[in-house]
């Protein structure tokens, strides 16, 4: 299917299942996609390698990875190796929450969008099958959009910014079904918070558990490469 690409969009691409699906959706909507990844010194750096191959596989117009060491602030199991990634369900917002990460990523997307004269930003947040992070909710995305429309030269000059969160109300199974319909190869993606250097998943962290359950509910084979048969037992 060839879609006429007339408008530029910045797509936040982590390298995981959700953001890869969002890229496919933005493509299908006819956007020329400029993918943005953030190397924040996350322990699962393998997701950045995944982001690169997904951007290529899905024909992104460009892909930039911004270097920004969030470990200088600490406070998250994803940037502080002294804090363990939970391997079972926890109460409240888990320690894998990275302070203000989505706000930082959306801000960077906004910067690039301004330079590209793009008025559309895509983010793969999802408020159903997720870990309860505050910056994954629809009201947060809406508030970011309102702020963005007061922040930028383009918006002030009458070109409003739209922040698209097409997965916001979807279950993980629905996301997978949608992505598969759009030709996403999920074996290329890495969701695990403690993926090894090859991208192989632990199968036990929050992110792995949501992903596994999604494939099961979608009644589709799970193409994820797991670290060892032992950890999976």
* Contacts to a second copy by CB under 8 A: 64, 66-70, 72-75, 93, 97-104, 106-108, 110-112, 114-115, 134-135, 137, 139-140, 143-144, 146-148, 150-153, 155-156
Q: Interior CA angle at 227 toward 52 and 233, to 5°?
A: 140
8 A C-beta contact, residue 136 and residue 169: no
Q: Residue 118 Cβ, how far from a second copy at the closest point, in Å? A: 11
- Measured from the CB atom, the residue of 45 and 200 that comes closer to a second copy is 45
End-to-end CA separation in angstroms for the chain = 41
- CA dihedral sign of residues 22, 51, 77, 102: negative
- Measured from the CB atom, the residue of 133 and 226 that comes closer to a second copy is 133
Q: Residue 49 Cβ, how far from a second copy at the closest point, in Å? A: 19
Which residues lie across from 31 on neighbouring strands? 7
Q: Which tokens in the block code for residue 102?
A: 């989505």
- Measured from the CB atom, the residue of 31 and 34 that comes closer to a second copy is 34
Q: Residue 139 Cβ, how far from a second copy at the closest point, in Å? A: 5
Which residues lie across from 8 on neighbouring strands? 32
- Measured from the CB atom, the residue of 115 and 181 that comes closer to a second copy is 115
Distances (CA, A) of 139 to 134, 184, 215: 10, 28, 28
- Measured from the CB atom, the residue of 3 and 93 that comes closer to a second copy is 93
Name the one residue in this structure whose structure tokens are 């918070």: 193
Q: Residue 173 Cβ, how far from a second copy at the closest point, in Å? A: 27
Q: Residue 202 Cβ, how far from a second copy at the closest point, in Å? A: 24
- Measured from the CB atom, the residue of 89 and 221 that comes closer to a second copy is 89
Of the candidates 21, 10, 182, 206, the residue with the CA atom closest to the CA atom of residue 105: 10
Q: Residue 233 Cβ, how far from a second copy at the closest point, in Å? A: 34
| 50 CB neighbour count, 10 Å cutoff | 26
């Amino acid at each position: 299917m060839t879609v006429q690409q007339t408008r530029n969009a910045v797509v936040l691409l982590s390298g995981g299942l959700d953001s890869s699906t969002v890229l496919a959706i933005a493509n299908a909507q006819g956007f020329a996609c400029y993918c943005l990844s953030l190397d924040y010194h996350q322990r699962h750096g393998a997701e950045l390698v995944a982001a690169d191959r997904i951007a290529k596989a899905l024909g992104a117009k460009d892909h930039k990875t911004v270097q920004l060491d969030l470990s200088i602030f600490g406070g998250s199991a994803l940037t502080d190796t002294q804090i363990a990634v939970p391997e079972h369900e926890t109460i409240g917002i888990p320690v894998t929450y990275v302070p203000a990460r989505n706000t930082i990523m959306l801000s960077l997307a906004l910067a690039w969008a301004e330079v590209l004269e793009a008025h559309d930003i895509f983010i793969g947040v999802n408020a159903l099958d997720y870990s309860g992070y505050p910056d994954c909710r629809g009201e947060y995305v809406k508030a970011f959009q309102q702020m963005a429309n007061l922040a930028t030269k383009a918006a002030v000059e009458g070109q409003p910014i739209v922040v698209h969160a097409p997965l916001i109300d979807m279950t993980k199974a629905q996301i997978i079904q949608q992505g598969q319909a759009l030709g996403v190869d999920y074996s290329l993606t890495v969701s695990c918070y403690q993926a090894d250097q090859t991208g192989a998943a632990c199968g036990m962290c929050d992110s792995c558990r949501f992903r596994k359950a999604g494939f099961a509910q979608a009644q589709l084979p799970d193409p994820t490469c797991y670290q060892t048969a032992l950890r999976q037992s």
